[in-house]
Chains A and B, each alone.
Chain A
C-alpha cells in the first residue's frame, strides 16, 4: 500500500530549540496534514495544507506543502516542554476524501 516516510523517527529537544521534521512519499498527495498525539489520546490536527507550495503557520508551528506534492515539512520554533509527543504527517491521495494515509510518527522527547 501507499506509504509515507517520516523522519526523524525520534528526537530530543531542549527548551528553546527549533525543531524540524519531514515526510516524503512516492505518490502525489492532494492534501498534507500534521497531527500531534499525546499518550492515551487521539491525534489532534495542527495544520492542514491544500496547495503545492503553500506555507502555513499556527503559532510557533510552520508547515509547507512541497512543490512536487510528494513531501511536506513541519517546523516548531522555540520549543517548550509541552511540545513533547508524537507528530504524524498524513496525506490524502485523489479519490476518497475520508481516507488519510499516516506516517509512522516522529517522537519528540526532552533532552535528559
Chain B
C-alpha cells in the first residue's frame, strides 16, 4: 500500500486479556519497527525486524510482549495478560533498508480497562 497501515486503530480490552496488533508495512520495505507512545511522551522503542528476524528486541518491556513477522512483511505485536499500564499508542514504522527514512503508521490506541 501507499503507507504503513495499522489495525485496529483503536482497541479497548479488559485487564488480563490477550491482544494482537497488526502492522502492514510499505511494500518492499525490509525493516519494520514497533514503538510505544504513552500520553505526553515521545515514542519508546520496542523491537526492530530486518526481514523475518528480530534484529533488536531489547525494548520489549517483559515476556508478556512478543512480536512476529513470519514472511518478512506483515507483523503482529502480541500482548498477553494485559495490564492497565500497557495502555498507550502502539506505532509501527517501516523503512526500505534499515535506514532512518522511517515511515510511521497512525498507530493503534490500546486502552486496558
What total of chain A residues lie within 8 Å of the partner, measured CB to CB?
A: 24
Q: Given A45-B100, A45-B101, are A88 and B106 neighbors across the interface (CB < 8 Å)?
A: no
Interface size class of B (residues with CB under 8 A): 20 to 34
A100 at the interface (CB under 8 A from B): yes
**Which residues of B, 32-80, contact A by the 8 Å Cβ criterion?**
33, 40-45, 48, 50, 55-56, 58-59
CB-contact partner of B100 in A33, A42, A88, A96, under 8 A:
A33
B26 within 8 A of A: no
Give, as a whole number of angstroms, the nearest-CB distance from B37 to chain A: 8
A48 interface residue (CB < 8 Å to B): yes
Give A108 Cβ to nearest chain B Cβ, in Å. 15
> B98 in the interface, Cβ–Cβ < 8 Å?
yes
Cβ–Cβ < 8 Å partners of A96 in chain B: 48, 55-56, 58
A98 within 8 A of B: yes
| A94 CB–B CB distance under 8 Å | no
A66 at the interface (CB under 8 A from B): no
User: Quick check: B56 and A43 within 8 Å, CB to CB?
Assistant: no
Q: Is the CB of A70 closer than 8 A to any CB of chain B?
A: no
Contact B98 A98 (CB under 8 A): yes
In the complex, A31 has a CB within 8 A of chain B: yes
**Ordered nearest first, which 8 A-B pairs have the shortest CB separation?**
A42-B104, A98-B48, A102-B42, A96-B56, A99-B45, A102-B43, A88-B42, A48-B100
